[in-house]
Structure 1
Amino acid sequence: MKNYTNFIGIDVAKLTLDYCMITPNPQPEQGQILNTQKSVDKFLKTLKKAGCQMNETLFVFENTGIYSSLLALVLSENKLDYAQVPALEIKRSLGITRGKSDKVDAKEIANYARRNTDKIALSALPELSLQQLKIVFAEREKTIAAIKSFERTMENEMYLNKKVFTSVKAINRQTVKQLKKQLAALDDRIKILIREDEILYKQQQLLKSIPGIGEITSVYLLMVTKGFTAFTNGRKFACYSGVVPFEHTSGTSVKGKTRVSHLADKKMKSLLHMAALTAIKYDPELKAYYRRKKEEGKHTMLVLNNIKCKMVYRIFVVIARETSFVNLHKFAA
């Protein structure tokens, strides 16, 4: 991380961006602009006219999903240094705080940027194909949730008068049918997006060579790792996925059990769990490992968590090696 002289903390809301700029001058500069491309462009031009050295300026803001996407896009197009930081990380760095406002939050983010320059990792927009993949996958998740919601209506049939339920039965079936048709279209779109990107397509084929890793799990892995550029090794990704156990002890009085952290990507953790259940059915090595540990008296969830970790390491090995997974267990004597 290079040395910066200006730190701009931005509190992102749906309609506005509150900012605080800390410079070598003793008094920080604060203000508010609209969360639109026109306003952000005008703000950057104002900074340049005021003599702000943009190559010595670091922009830091919370990763608020869609609301911070426009800001990240404009900063990226202007080739400026910025970092999207998890809100929890900033919150826990503040210590004890009382009260809350967007103006105060912007100032705290700017102070966080100044104090943690050596720790902050610069952000970058993922490739266009990954951005498209992410939004299509989000639509797929919403469609699946809608299908489950409408299918629950059919559970009422056995409890309601036949004439009463008939008034909604046909409409409900038609709705579910259309949603399933939409789901199939989204799945086809996801396959096309991956097939059009040579690197993503190759990585997906490598991932699917691992027993237990299917279509959806491979797609989600490509998304969250940004084509395996966001994580340097399997250990870090395992932590991100919430499958690495951590010690919980202090002195002689606190001796808690070693547990995984609840701070994790729950979707990724769920997919890895399903992958592990599939793997112990079809992978001879993991199946033997599972049976051996169960015979030793190990808890089922502990053994499954170990298998999740093994699968994460397999994932990163095949990607780094750029060769499909080979199960050496069948060649063992």
Structure 2
Amino acid sequence: MNAKLKVMKQKYVIGIDISKSKLDCAVMDFEYKIQYEMIISNTEKGIGDFLKKIVKLLKTSNEELLICCENTGIYNRPLERICTKSEVLLWIEHPVKIKKAASDLRGKDDKKDARRIADYAVRYRDKSIAYEEPCEVIQKMNILTKSRNTLVVQKTALENQLREAKSHDRFEFTLLEESFSKALKVIKSSIKKIEDQLSVLIEKEQEIKQNKDLLTSIPGIGEQCAINFIISTNNFTSFDNAKHLACYAGVVPFKNQSGTIVKKERISKMANQKLKKLLHMSAMASIRSDKEIKAYFHRKVEQGKNKMSVLNAVRNKLVHRIIAVIKRKLPFLPKEEFLSIKNSNNICSLT
């Protein structure tokens, strides 16, 4: 989520429905009138030529255009690169928000989706968030981390199959071990190489290295969790406070009531699921290793609180600790140590 709120000075909105090979585009003015509709190739050249054509037809400039699209992962990359180079404001919105805001959901095709995206962008243009391209180092870290995750999943799948065969069928285990041993060696070697590449990248960037060291000073926060937080927050330039980051990571419960009907508070699924998963593992680790968190968890459970609710509160605490050490540029210290040297300027603690 590499974005900051920007003041709107645009005159036209381009709603784009993205697919693997093509983009359906709907150009709309602020009176909700469709000016042009086109289908272009999902390539940097195709998008660049389209923008030049639109600027010429509308007798406008790149600065007066607002492009809005849904987040489709890697298929967004050509559009992101061209908008960054051309200095065109790009707004990447969550698909669920656009769907829920649509006034007419009858029928569906790519052309209608492009119109709905354009309509959404015109209606909520004052809430637009401009996409900002991450720095090259963050992009490299992101690619390497994704590659590592893919290999870890493959490694886990092979090891699980071997373990089950070993405990239930020795004959199958013998055959699988012979087949999988070489593959596992290659995968483990590849994971090690990627981790070494990540370490070299981080060592070269002083600010990123400093932030990683600060995060790993928090009990329960491991290296992979720290790296993923740095990537997802563009090295902590995309979020102003802990509440926003906690919401993005999916650890904030929201009220669920209507009139006299009051239901249990639930966390939203509109979150970064990767960060949420890593925070869950970090919370489990902190309960085992951090005396403060362990005491807090058991105290709340003894009071009758639901274990998962308390665990989510621990995840939220970790997010607040993360923001605290980043803002203060000081490593984390437990409460007891903090109180014993509270007059020192070389500590940071958040309870």
Range of TM-score over shorter length: over 0.9
Change over 3 Å in CA distance of 1:176–1:96 after alignment to 2: same
Aligned to 1:65: 73
The whole-number CA distance in structure 1 between the counterparts of 2:55 and 2:133 is 23
8 Å CA contact 1:284–1:330 kept in 2: the answer is no
**The one of 156, 160, 163 aligned to 2:165:** 156
CA deviation after TM superposition for structure 1 residue 49, in Å: 2.6
1:16 to 22, 43, 53: 22
- What are the superposed Cα offsets for residues 252-311 of structure 1, whole Å, 9 maximum, x if unpaired? 1x1111222233222212211221222223222222222322332222222221111111
Partner-residue secondary structure (3-state), 1:61: strand
Identity percentage over the alignment? Answer: 34
Kindly indicate whether the alpha-carbon contact (under 8 Å) linking 2:251 and 2:315 is maintained by their aligned counterparts in 1.
yes
- Alignment of 1:214 with 2:222, yes or no, is yes
Task: Say whether 1:120 aligns with 2:128.
Answer: yes
Q: Equivalent residues in 2 for 1:68-147 (5 A)?
A: 68-147=76-155
Helix, strand or coil: the match of 2:274? helix
Work out the number of aligned pairs and report it: 331
> Is 1:325 the counterpart of 2:332 in the alignment?
yes
State how far apart, in whole Å, the 1-side matches of 2:27 and 2:280 are: 44
**Structure 1 CA distance for aligned equivalents of residues 217 and 302 of structure 2:** 29
Q: Distance in 1 between matches of 2:23 and 2:66?
A: 16
CA RMSD of aligned residues (A): 1.9
| 1:228 counterpart = 2:236 | yes
For 2:150 and 2:75, the matched residues in 1 are separated by 19
Aligned partner of 2:18: which letter?
V
Task: Extract structure 1 runs of 4+ deviating beyond 6 A.
Answer: none
In structure 2, distance between residues paired with 1:24 and 1:282:
56
What secondary structure is seen at the aligned counterpart in 1 of 2:127?
coil
Once the two structures are overlaid, the 10-residue window that deviates more, 27-36 or 166-175, is: 166-175
Whole-angstrom CA distance in 2 between matches of 1:161 and 1:325: 49
> Counterpart in 1 of 2:188?
180
Note the alpha carbon deviations across 1:75-113, whole angstroms, 9 max, x for none: 101111111111111111114502111111111111111
Q: Does 1:294 align with 2:296?
A: no
Q: Who is 1:6 aligned against?
A: 12
Deviation string 1:299-331 (CA, Å, 9 cap, x unpaired) is 222222111111111111111111111223245
Change beyond 3 A, Cα 1:249–1:167: closer
Encode CA deviations 1:180-219: one digit per residue, 9 max, x unaligned.
1111111111212222222111111111111111101101
Q: Residue 153 of structure 1 contacts residue 172 of structure 1 at CA under 8 Å; is this kept in 2? A: no
Listed as ranges, the gaps of 5+ residues in structure 2 are 1-6, 341-351
TM, length-normalised to structure 1: 0.93
Change (3 A) 1:158 1:207: closer
Q: What's the TM-score once normalised by structure 2's chain length?
A: 0.89
Residue type of the partner of 1:17?
A: L
The one-letter code of the counterpart of 2:205 is D
Aligned-pair CA distance for 1:158: 5.3
Q: Which residue of 2 aligns with 1:239?
A: 247
Deviates more, 1:15-24 or 1:254-263: 254-263
SS at match of 2:130: coil
SS at match of 2:257: strand
Measure the CA separation in 2 of the matches of 1:11 and 1:90.
12
Unaligned runs of 5+ in 1: none
Inter-partner Cα distance in structure 1 for 2:313 and 2:49: 52
State the secondary structure of the residue aligned to 1:144: helix
Is 1:147–1:180's contact at 8 Å kept on the other side of the alignment? yes
Q: What is the rounded CA distance, in whole Å, between the counterparts of 1:320 and 1:92 in structure 2?
A: 36
* Pair 8,147 (structure 1): closer, same or farther in 2 beyond 3 Å: same
